[in-house]
Structure 1
Amino acid sequence: MTRVVFAPDSFKGSIGAADAATALAEGWRSVRPGDETVLRPMADGGEGTLEAFAAAVPGAVRRPVVVIGPDGRAVESSWLLLPPTADAPRGTAVVELASTSGIELLGERRLGADAGTEGFGQAIAAALDAGVSRLVLGIGSSASTDGGAGVLAALGARILDGEGRAIAPGVRGLDTVASVDLSSLRPLPPGGVVVLTDVTNPLLGERGSAAVFGAQKGLTGGEISVADAALARFATLVAAKAPAADPETPGAGAAGGAGFGLCAWGARIRPGADDVAALIGLPEVVATASVVITGEGSFDAQSAAGKVPAQVARLAHAVGTRAALVAGRVSPDADTSAFAASVSLSELAGSPEDALADPARWLREAAATLAHRR
C-alpha cells in the first residue's frame, strides 16, 4: 500500500492548513482509494500554527481566552495546551499572535500607527496562569510595528512616556517612550519559551521591521522612517535593561519587532517551519511515506527561505521520499526543482479569482491530478 502524507501550510486568506490537507487527501483518494493518507497540516509560526498542532497532536486542548485585539476591541481567541511530556510535565502551551493581534483580525482595515500586540501578551499570560511548563509562540501575521512593547506590557513591563504614563498602543505610542522598566516581567516557565517565525530580518534599518513590512501593515513612507526611529530608541532603552536583547538578532524584526520584545523577556527565536515539523512528528511520518504533498497560497522566489514547502521538501529528500507542490499561484521566478511535480490552482481553475472562490474544490482537483501522474 502506498502511504501519502499531506503537509500543506495555510493558503493565506483562502483556506486553513487543516482544511487544505483534508481537501488534498479527498482528491487523492478519489483516484487511488486504496492508498493510506496521513494528514499533517503545517505552519511556520504564522496563521494556522494552532491549527497545525491541534490536528497533529493527540490530546491537545484549546483553552479559550478573551483579549484586546490589534484595534483595541475585544477578541475571542484561544491558546492550545499540549499533553504533558517528560521535558514539560505540566504541558506545553502554543500561543499564536495571528489569532490575538494578527492583521487578519482587521479585515480590510490597516492600522499601521495604532495596532498593538497587547492581546498576544494577554494570551501568553493566561497560559502562564495555567501553570504550563513550556511556551511555544508563533509570531507571524502581525498587524503591528510596536517592537513587542504591547507583549512586554501585558507581561508586566512598565513602558512609559515622558510624563510617566503608560504609552499608547502601536508606533504612535512607541514614538513617545521615555523609560522602560523590565523588573516586574513575569518569569519564564521552567521549560523556557521558543518563538517560531520564518522571518530572519533584524529589528532596524533597511532590512528592518518597519522598512520591509511596515507598508503592508498600513504605514506610509513618512511613517516608516518615524517607526524605525522609534524602534531604535526603544531598542536602546530595552537593551540597557536586558543586554541579551540585540536588535541585530535574526528574527528580531519579525511580527513588527515582537521577536525583539520576546528576546528581551528571555525567549529563543527558532525557524518556524523546522520546529513545527519536529514538534508534530513530520520527519518520522515522511520517512515512512512514498509521497508527500505540501503547498501554500503563493509559491515564489522567497519560498525557499524558511517557508513550509521548502522545509517539507528538504525532509522528503533526506529520506528519499518524493515531494510534490500544490500552490494557489506559482510565480514564474520560483524554483520548483525540489519537487517531482507541481500544480497551480490558478492555472487549474482558469484564473486566481476562480481558484479563490472555491479553494477546497481546486485542491481536490490538484491532488487528483497528482494521483493520476503517480
Structure 2
Amino acid sequence: MDDKLMLMIPGPTPVPEKALLRLGRHPIGHRSGDFSKVMAEVTENLKWLHQTQNDVLVLAASGTGAMEAGIINFLSAGDRVLVGCNGKFGDRWADVAKAYNLNVTTIEAEWGKPLDPEQFRQALEADANKEIKAVILTHSETSTGVLNDLETINRHVKAHGEALIIVDAVTSLGACNVPIDEWGLDVVASGSQKGYMIPPGLAFVSVSEKAWNAYKTSNLPRYYLDLGFYRKSAAKDTTPFTPPVNLFFALQATLQMMKAEGLDNIFARHDRLKRATREAVKALGLPLFGSDNCASSAVTAVAPVSVEAEKVRSMMKSKFDIALAGGQDHLKGKIFRIGHLGFVSDRDVVCAIGALEATLQALNADVTPGAGVTAAGRVLNAG
C-alpha cells in the first residue's frame, strides 16, 4: 500500500500533519515583515527548548554543518582540542578538526560503550599550561545508541577554566534534558530532522558569551558558516543568506506543539519509549548493543545473534513498511537501530515491536508469542 511508510529510524523522524501542512504553504519573501515575525517567534521558542538565554542561531545545513560551524568559529589553526570518540560521529568531529589543522587528541571508548569522564578529567588536569582550547564530544551517539555523561565531562571542562565545550546534541536536544545555561555549555549543535520533528535542512547552534569571546581571535577560514553573520541578522529577526522559508513555517508549528507538551513531558515520553523498546527487545531474546545505564532516549541499537540484522531490516520494510536503521562502518550488517525520537508515540512503539516479533517468527527465531508487546505494554502502562 502506498504512503504507509513508518519511520522508526533516528532521523529523519516522522513529521506531524501540522508541520506537513505548513510545508505546503506558498513561500513568502525572506526579507519581508511577515517572515521577520516568524523568525522572531522561532528564535524565542528555540531559546526555550535549549533552556538558554544565549544566541541560538539557525543555519540552512545538516547537523554536520552545525558542528563544523561550532568548531571553526571559535578555534584557531594549531589549537589543541580533546575529541571524544566512541562512535561514527565522534570520529567525524575528529576528522573535521584535523581538516582545519587543529591539534587533535582523541579520548576513545569501544563502540557501544560510553566515554569515561575520568579520562577527560586526567587530560584536563594535566594541562598545566592551559593549552587545551576545546573539548568536543557527542552527547547521544546515534550510531550506537549510547548516551555519554555530558554533565560530568562538562564539570571537568569547567574546572579547567580555559577550554570551551562543543557538543553534538543532534539526537539529544528535544529528547532528553540538556540545560545549556544551568550547565554552562558553550556551543551546542543540533539538526531539524531529529527531535524538532521537521524534515532535514535546518541546523541550530547555541553559543555562549565565552565562545563569542573566543570568536574574536579565531583565525580559521569561514564565510557561509561564519556565525557572526547569523548573530547580526538574528538580532534583526532575519537571516544572512536565503533560508528555506517553508522549513521555518514547519518549525514554527512543531515548536508550538513542543511548548504545549512541555519540556518535562517531552523528556518523560522519550524515556518511556526508550525503556519500552529495550524491555521488548530483551523479551524477544535479542541482545542489546550497549547497556541500560548509558542508553540513549533517541535510538536503541540491537545486535541479533540468531538472525541476520539486514534480513530483519529488509523484512520489516518489505512486509510491514517499517524502516529501521542499520549499522555504520564496521557495525554494518551486525546491528540494527530502532529510532524512538521526535513525533513518536506509545502506539508507534507497540506497532513496531509487534512487527518485529512477526518478522523474527518468519525468520524462524525462537520467540515466545506476544512476549515483546507484553514487555513494552508493561512499561507503557506503568507510565
Name the TM-score, length of structure 2 as normaliser.
0.26
Structure with larger RCO (C-alpha < 8 A, sep 6+): 2
Q: Which has the higher helix share?
A: 2
